[in-house]
Amino acid sequence: AQSVTQLDSQVPVFEEAPVELRCNYSSSVSVYLFWYVQYPNQGLQLLLKYLSGSTLVKGINGFEAEFNKSQTSFHLRKPSVHISDTAEYFCAVNPYGGATNKLIFGTGTLLAVQP
């Protein structure tokens, strides 16, 4: 079975400051990793994904994430945040090679960008 831990339920940060949202996972098999963003009253939008290859993955809106297999982590980073980045961010996993689209999500981190 797989599980995802997002230790920070809320991360307050000032505009133009850097931010890191943490994600750790547990799995007995290899997994694909995803970060989704949810703006108020909207569905989820894919920010980036790690399937294979380079462990540094770049996504939309200036976000990037680094896969660390030894630490089973997939932290999300942005060098300079904007007010518009205020949203909830979800880390998710899916077992590698599985014939299912089922995603296992973390509990989410609310990124609150202050002016």
Partner 1 sequence: KAGVTQTPRYLIKTRGQQVTLSCSPISGHRSVSWYQQTPGQGLQFLFEYFSETQRNKGNFPGRFSGRQFSNSRSEMNVSTLELGDSALYLCASSMGQGSYNEQFFGPGTRLTVL
Strand 24-26 to strand 31-38: parallel, antiparallel, or no bridges (unpaired)? unpaired
The token pair that represents 42 in the structure block:
């909207």
Closest approach, Cβ 75 to partner 1, in A, equals 19
Residue 10 in contact with partner 1, rule: CB under 8 A: no
Please report, for residues 42, 58, 60, 63, 114, the alpha-carbon distance to residue 66 in angstroms, rounded to integers and kept in the order given: 26, 9, 14, 11, 25
Residue 3 in contact with partner 1, rule: CB under 8 A: no
Please report, for residues 1, 85, 96, the alpha-carbon distance to residue 12 in angstroms, rounded to integers and kept in the order given: 32, 11, 33
Nearer to partner 1, 70 or 101 (CB): 101
Residue 41 in contact with partner 1, rule: CB under 8 A: yes
Question: Of 76-95, which residues contact partner 1 (CB under 8 A)?
Answer: 90, 92, 94-95
Q: Point out which residues bind partner 1 (CB under 8 A).
A: 32, 36, 41-46, 49, 51, 90, 92, 94-108
